[in-house]
Amino acid sequence: MESNMRRLLPYLSATGMALIFGFSFLFTKNALETLDTFQLLFLRFLMAFIVMSLLVLFKIIKINFQGKNLKPLLLVAILQPVIYFIMETFGLKHATSSEAGVMMAFIPVIVAVVGMIILKEKITQKQALSIVLSFMGVIILVVMSGKEETGGEFKGIMFLLGAVATAAFYNIYSRKASFQFTPYEITYFMMLCGTVFFGLAAAVAGLINGNISNLFVVDSTAFASLLYLGLLSSVGAFFMVNYTLSKIPASQSAIFSNLISVVSVFAGVMFRHEAFELYKMFGAVLIIAGVFGTNYFGSKDSEKCLEESFS
């Protein structure tokens, strides 16, 4: 019973990550109404870093970088949060939260290809069919949603494509780093780098625009969004991502990104009172079926190939 629960934990963690990230696009859009891009990113990661530092201080989590090579962690942090969140946040300035969620469906395709090349992970035929099934579900959501949800500006789509590509490589290299560092250490280092980089970027932007004194000025609505983004998304969800990537192959963990698309559509129904058409249910069923199939038909040799590629 205990061993079964241990095997189930990575998949529960990935599902929790998808739920949190699915709603995060809405909160980012809300915060961007009153906060500058780099101001939002700085305050988000500052909040996350402070919380994680308190957890370390009170010995709730353990962090130990002593004597370890930090280069793998630095690469992970450059990919995510630095590059990814620049792409995502600028993308959300020009595209809708639904579009951002749907774009995440491209991550498993890129991860599968890169994973086969870099990690030597094997994809079975049934896994490949499951990925295609899940992708078809997303295509249904995109095509049938109409111009209101999918007609975002070209600039926004290009930024989101950049975010998707970055997220795919992050999946790969975070998995690689997990052989040397714990999920806590990876997440903490990411929050530290995000705070430093976006803090400097926000300060420079504030000096250029002449409003640096407003760096910490936040209204109640933006503060609520920051709490969600800083605590649930940056700390909770990223820990779930790093934990999942330390337990299962990147090609399997990335397929859960498709669930983000489902959550983002459902969030629109609940909070924007959008109509819940039959095609959305059909697309969601295909996506969830694809997620299940990719993991159920996972190659038993994946872990062995992964360990050999890093030994």
Beta-carbon contacts of residue 217 (< 8 Å; ≥ 6 apart): none
The residue that leads in pLDDT, 289 or 11, is 11
- Give domain status of residue 12, yes or no: no
Q: What is the pTM of this model?
A: 0.77
Residue 33 φ/ψ, nearest 5 degrees: -70, -25
Q: Are 269 and 276 in contact, with CB atoms under 8 Å apart?
A: yes
Q: Please give the pLDDT value at position 153.
A: 57
d(CA 277, CA 212): 46
- Give domain status of residue 9, yes or no: no
Q: Token pair for residue 163?
A: 């975010």
Is the pLDDT reported for residue 249 higher than 60? yes
- Region 124-138: mean pLDDT is 82
- Give domain status of residue 236, yes or no: yes
Q: Are 293 and 130 in contact, with CB atoms under 8 Å apart?
A: yes
- Give domain status of residue 100, yes or no: yes
d(CA 89, CA 87): 6
Q: Please give the pLDDT value at position 5.
A: 72
- Give domain status of residue 8, yes or no: no
Domain limits at 174?
23-310
Q: Please give the pLDDT value at position 272.
A: 66
Residue 97 burial (CB count, 10 A): 24
Domain total for the chain? Answer: 1
- Give domain status of residue 14, yes or no: no
Q: Are 105 and 257 in contact, with CB atoms under 8 Å apart?
A: yes
- Region 72-78: mean pLDDT is 94
Q: Please give the pLDDT value at position 311.
A: 40
Q: Please give the pLDDT value at position 277.
A: 67
With bands split at pLDDT 50, 70 and 90, how would you rate the model's confidence at 243? confident
Grouping H, G, I as helix, E, B as strand and the rest as coil, residue 97 is: helix
- Give domain status of residue 18, yes or no: no
